[in-house]
Amino acid sequence: MSSEVWFDEHYDAVYSYILILAKDPHVAEDLSQETFMKVIKNEHQFKGDSLVKTWIFRIAYTTTMSYFRKKNPITYYFDLHNQSDKHERSSEEIALLNSQQKQFYEALNQLKPSYQQVIILRYIQGFSTKETASILNWSEGKVKMTLSRALTAFKKELEKGGFTNETLIR
């Protein structure tokens, strides 16, 4: 399979992953394009030891982390840009969704970067433990332990923001 097919199949997922991290559509677009430039350049290095998607996300992860290290070496917290949902919804629904989304991302941003990464990859992007380990260059055990700790910390942050166990389960 060629990198053009990989681009068509995985660009949207890569872009949404980076957008969650960067909270800026322009930065996400630039980093997504940079990711796929690296994919094209290094296509010959893909050995098939993992899924293509996992390999591409590893490149997206390192590209994004490198960008943030260069931008601000002290912190990996990102600005929160509240993106409005413009689909035909009432203003009350939009306000509620924006409020919940903002609380979710504010709670996520309170976590240390490793916790953010493992939650995003496992639960938002839907990668397996093995795939997440490959993307982050960690052992599967480290992914499992970090995820357990991250979810505990995330739940505490959400509860600080007013979420209850009932709202968390939904």
Q: Boundaries of CATH 1.10.1740.10 in the chain?
A: 1-81
**DSSP code at position 5:** H
Q: Is the pTM of this model over 0.75?
A: no
On the question of pLDDT at 13 being above 80, the answer is yes
Tokens 């996992």 -> residue: 54
Model pLDDT for residues 82-124, shown as the tens digit of each residue? 333 344 445 555 555 556 667 777 888 889 999 999 998 988 8
pLDDT for 113-144, tens place per residue? 999 999 989 888 889 999 999 999 999 999 99
Sequence-distant (6+) residues with CB within 8 A of 89 are 97
Q: What's the average model confidence in pLDDT over 34-51?
A: 90
Q: Show Cβ contacts of residue 85 under 8 Å, excluding neighbours closer than 6 positions.
A: 94, 97, 98
Class of domain 89-170: mainly alpha
Domain limits, CATH 1.10.10.10, in the chain = 89-170
**What's the CATH number of domain 1-81, 3.40.50.980, 1.10.1740.10, 3.30.1540.10, 3.40.50.280?**
1.10.1740.10
